[in-house]
Amino acid sequence: MKKMIIKGVKNIVIGFAILAGFILVFERCEKDIPEGAFITSEGVLIGEYLQANSDTFGEFYKILEKIEGVSFLKAYGQYTCFVPNNEAVLDYYQETGKSSVNDFSSEEDLETLRQIVKYHICPDSISTGMFIEGGLPDTTMSGDILVTSFGEGGVYNIEINHEAKLFVWDLSFINGIVHGIDAVLEPVLLSVAELISQDTNYSIFSQALVETGLYDSLNDLNTKYTIFTESDSVLNAHGIMNYEDLLGAFSQTGSPYLNQEDSLYIWMAYHCTHYTYFLPDFDNTTYQNLTYGPLFTIQRNTDFLVNSTPVNAGMSNNVAKNGVYHSLYDILTIIPIPVPVYFEFTDKLEFKALTEYYRTKSLTPIPGTILPDGVNGIHVASGDFYKYGSGDKRYYNHDWIEYEFSTVSNRLWIEFDIPPLVQDGEYIVWLCGKCYDGRRAKSVDTYWDDEFIKNLSFNFERTIPDSLAMEQGLKNYTNPANRQMIGQLLDTITVTHSGSHKFKLARGAEDGIITIEMLQLIPIDENQVSLKFDMWSVNH
């Protein structure tokens, strides 16, 4: 499947000069400042304003002095400074176990203050008129993105990073703009995976990230991600009270860890895309997710929708060191992505309970076994039966289902429930089992959801190579090849819903026996013969 090309978030890099003292203070800045841009101009500069208004911003000015960083704010350039007031800085001292700026004495302490200052300054002029419900148009000097949000009252209730409010704004100076805030902004050091794990609203989703192995990918600080999440309350509304409920509802294998064929893994990966996208960054288009298929169709009307699922904007735009996560009002609906499905007829709990010979490696095949109470998901007429066989190494996993069509015994059909593994799309369907001359059935009608597909014969052996067999609707599906183990092409079907389906085999013109093991549904645009199933080992 072709990967879709998506538009990255625009990064704006603006150059500034470097003063000698400034190099010492910000030698590890993510923003490079070119020489020659610092030219002191007439009028009031940001550094001068902060120094003159010590009753409001004096403590932040002391921090600048402590790290020898005053000079660049007293020189020409263009900056936006989010400056915490004295009360906010004193609270920060207390939270860090300090009583004043003088208590920051070690090199580690000074580096902490440097990071704090860089986190509060953007190398561009950004007025409140440029604020959106999301990330600012440029990163801070620490290379991070600050998030703005609006409460009721417009500019009077603007919040930065959901933790600090503006109390003064758009103070314009020769070298930029100052916004006064009522709290010190703590640099975000956590990955998006770590941030979700610490948010108690998302405990089920967070555990699912761990159990699917996606947590480790999202914990990589060198890669940017955007995640859409369901809160515990959203999942609870659907009867999912814990991770075990989620596993039962979404995983068809029960083993989703790094299992790209598991439906829970696919569903979780479907929530994640590369790059940092705040809500306003999305266009009305589709995006690629970690399943390498189309991610979301974003629609903006009165509501913001991901596919048909509304986004909870008030709980979204949660910024992390390597991305952002958003919250959904409901369980995310999926744009179907056709993937190959290999459905084994013998993969049933009732057969697995036959521990003595389920998928045995015995050299002598065990005679067919009839389960008197039947098996969930396999149906025959009342009084009819089928057999489970095991021990023949020519079959993948060494087992099969045997059924004998007989008009005398009124044994006319067998039907299988196909669980909701198949996404919407076009598939080529293959029935795999044993064919050879003798009592094998010569005429079997096949049905998908009660619609006739094709009449098959199992009374032959394949003697031609794959390259020619495909022309006859046949293929070898085992490794090594065996002329009796044959996949027969049924037809191309279009699946229009992702729920359960039915596959039925019925007697055609003659009686006979079938032994079958697998139904394959392979998307029409994928290679139909490349995957071979190992006959010789049960440990695949």
What's the residue count for the chain? 540
DSSP letter for each residue of 482-539: -TTEEEEEEEEEEE---S-EEEEEEE-SS-EEEEEEEEEEEETTS-SSS--EESS-S-
| Domains identified in the chain, total number | 3
Pair (359, 287) in one structural domain: no
Pair (320, 346) in one structural domain: no
CA distances from 434 to 400, 428, 521 (A): 9, 20, 18
Which pair of structure tokens corresponds to residue 40?
A: 């002191």
Given this model, what pLDDT does residue 466 score?
72
Please report where in the chains the tokens 């913001």 appear, as a residue: 304
Which pair of structure tokens corresponds to residue 267?
A: 């569903």
Count the alpha carbons within 13 Å of 283 in the hemisphere toward its beta carbon.
7
Return the amino acid letter for 289.
Answer: N
Pair (484, 507) in one structural domain: yes
Pair (312, 353) in one structural domain: no
> Residue 1 falls within a domain, yes or no?
no
Residue 88 Rama label (left phi>0; alpha psi -120 to 50; beta): alpha
Strand (E) or helix (H) holding 111: helix 107-119
Which pair of structure tokens corresponds to residue 184?
A: 């010190």
Which of 144, 162, 181 represents a domain boundary (last residue)? 181
pTM score, whole prediction: 0.55
Pair (37, 149) in one structural domain: yes
Pair (31, 174) in one structural domain: yes
> Which CATH number do you get for residue 486?
2.60.120.260
Phi, psi of 310 (to 5 degrees): -75, 145
Given this model, what pLDDT does residue 295 score?
58
Pair (499, 378) in one structural domain: yes
Domain that holds residue 393: 341-534
Which pair of structure tokens corresponds to residue 498?
A: 């992702």
> Residue 121 falls within a domain, yes or no?
yes
CA distances from 511 to 409, 431, 442 (A): 10, 19, 8
DSSP letter for each residue of 13-67: -------HHHHHHSTT-SS---TT-----SS--HHHHHHHTHHHHHHHHHHHHHT
Pair (261, 174) in one structural domain: no
Pair (405, 503) in one structural domain: yes
CA 134 and chain centroid, separation:
21
C-beta atoms surrounding 381 within 10 Å: 12
Would you give the end-to-end CA distance of the chain in angstroms?
Answer: 25
* Sequential pLDDT tens for the chain (540 residues): 222 222 222 222 222 222 223 323 333 334 443 333 333 334 799 999 999 999 999 999 999 999 998 988 988 889 999 999 999 999 999 999 999 999 999 999 999 999 999 999 999 999 999 998 889 989 999 999 999 988 766 667 899 998 999 999 999 999 999 999 999 999 999 999 999 999 999 999 999 999 999 999 999 999 999 999 999 999 999 999 999 999 999 998 999 999 988 899 999 999 999 899 998 888 767 777 887 556 565 665 557 888 778 999 889 999 999 999 999 999 998 766 677 888 889 888 788 877 777 887 654 555 556 766 678 889 999 888 898 888 887 888 888 999 999 999 889 999 999 876 667 788 999 999 999 877 789 999 999 999 999 999 999 877 777 778 888 899 988 888 888 899 999 999 988 765 678 999 999 999 999 999 999 999 998 889 888 887 654 333
Pair (159, 265) in one structural domain: no
Pair (411, 487) in one structural domain: yes
> Residue 7 falls within a domain, yes or no?
no
> Residue 334 falls within a domain, yes or no?
no
> Residue 8 falls within a domain, yes or no?
no
Which of 181, 215, 245 represents a domain boundary (last residue)? 181
> Residue 2 falls within a domain, yes or no?
no
Pair (400, 487) in one structural domain: yes
> Which CATH number do you get for residue 285?
2.30.180.10
Three-state DSSP class for residue 88: helix
DSSP letter for each residue of 112-171: HHHHHHHHTEESS---GGG--SEE-SS--TTS---EEEE-TTGGGGEEETTTEEEEEEEE
Angle between helix 86-95 and 54-66 (nearest 10): 50
> Residue 6 falls within a domain, yes or no?
no
Which of 138, 158, 181 represents a domain boundary (last residue)? 181
CB distance 137 to 146 below 8 Å: no
> Residue 11 falls within a domain, yes or no?
no
Phi, psi of 505 (to 5 degrees): -120, 130
CB distance 535 to 355 below 8 Å: no
